[in-house]
Chains A and B, each alone.
Chain A
Amino acid sequence: MENFEQLLAAHSFFKGIDAKYISRLAEQATPVSFKAGEYIFHQSEKARQFYLLNEGKVAVEVPTLVHGSITIQTTGQNEILGWSWLFPPYTWHFDARAMEATNALVFDGEWLRGQCEEDHELGYAFMKRISETVVNRLQATRLQLLDVYGIHF
């Protein structure tokens, strides 16, 4: 448990969060490992997990009929994976596949949602971090759409 607390406290996602939440969250954390190539979740499945990645690399993919799976983003150490458990309809929008051996701590999304509802201070701290991640990804996606390496720039 102490080990999980250390992992949580050291993870960028929880930087600055109150220590009391770290111990509460550590009690519910489960370590998981994925082999290179293994799928972590699939599009359209029920989204139940929140992953805190500690090691490795994960591809977020869109399965297509003609071109197979297309990677739209990669994520890894010190980053998070999955926020669809937070919002209805609680289904994954993409596939996630470990690109290399990956270790993470996983939390039950329903439990987390419940905690955030019950304790709005935790909920606010959590939502602030999730929105920062979402905003970062949105900005990155906008930049990606601009195609800055085309000759127009």
Chain B
Amino acid sequence: MLPHLFRVHQVHRETVDTFTLQLDPVDERGAVSFVPGQFNMLYLPGAGEVPISVSGDPAQAKHLTHTIRSVGAVTKVMDKLKRGDLLAVRGPFGTHWPVEEAEGNDIVIIAGGLGLAPLRPAFYQVLSDREKYNKVVLLYGARTPQDLLYRHELERWRGLLDVQVEVTVDSPVGGWHGDVGVITTLIPRGHFDPARTVALVCGPEIMMRYTVMELEKREVSQNKIFVSIERNMKCATGFCGHCQLGPIFICKDGPIFRFDLVKDWLGKRDI
């Protein structure tokens, strides 16, 4: 898949190290449509190329939205992007969250840290099709209140009467009056019926493993739990083997997997 040029329309700072880019295609070949859970390869000449999930609303066809945490060589350069700057985009790639497949069920979205970025499009879609689901639950955990992504939207979502939104932080620095404790502590408090629940989970691998254990305690079955594995990749097309995990290639077969199909590989290094 060939890269297309995009222009930065807006940069929004989410936290000290995380920012959201809204990108406009420079020509009509640049695609902004995607399915929740998919990612693009973002390329900056001179810096490099990185896989980044789409974090915007799939129903909004104007801009392409990506939320990026500045962690290393490429993302630190991206952190300096300003309105009007150009970057190249290949994609969208990858499997998607089973948002439509979950219709008629309770849907529980569980995000840790930056994991809310790939899940936000799924939540937008669920909200816009609210009548197609029973219970809708969003559980979100971050390190501190300052690390919460999309704070204003979270506050708005919490105000909705037909959705349960719970937010917790590991460490309550700086005037936080909400929940304190790791994300797993929210799971027993979720108002959902385990027998008819589809759970979408995204965050650091350790967080996902413990989250799944807690979901299993509530008897959500493993084949109704979906996780996003975001180990690093290079080609995004299943050639280079950089992101291979046992028999699977994250770029080609993932990043979203049904938990029971990948549980043997989660938590293992360099397989």
- Residues of A at the B interface (CB closer than 8 Å) are 12, 57, 59, 70-74, 76-79, 99, 139-140, 143-144, 146-151, 153
Contacts and interface: CB of A to CB of B under 8 A. Distances in A.
Nearest to B71: A151
A14 to B, nearest CB: 14
A77 B166 CA distance: 13
A144 B170 contact: yes
Contact of A153 (B176, B178, B181, B204): B204
A102 B182 CA distance: 22
A148 B112 contact: yes
11 contacts: A71-B180, A73-B180, A74-B178, A78-B189, A139-B210, A140-B181, A144-B181, A147-B143, A147-B170, A148-B113, A149-B207
Contacts of A144: 170-171, 181-182
A140 B184 contact: yes
Given A99-B177, A144-B170, A149 B182 contact: no
A51 to B, nearest CB: 17
B206 A153 contact: yes
Contacts of B207: 143, 148-149, 153
State the main secondary structure of chain B at its contact with A.
mixed
A interface SS class: mixed
B147 to A, nearest CB: 7
The 3 closest A-B pairs by CB, nearest first: A149-B113, A153-B204, A149-B143
A68 B179 CA distance: 18
B14 interface: no
B206 A143 contact: yes
Interface string B148-192: 000000000000000000001011100011111110110011000
Given A144-B182, A153-B204, A78 B188 contact: yes
Contacts of B168: 74
A148 B143 CA distance: 8
B182 A70 contact: no
A149 B170 contact: yes
B189 A140 contact: no
Interface in B25-53: none
B119 to A, nearest CB: 15
B189 A77 contact: yes
A107 to B, nearest CB: 21
B243 interface: no
A146 B71 contact: no
Nearest to B70: A151
A153 B210 CA distance: 14
Contacts of B114: 149
A149 B205 CA distance: 10
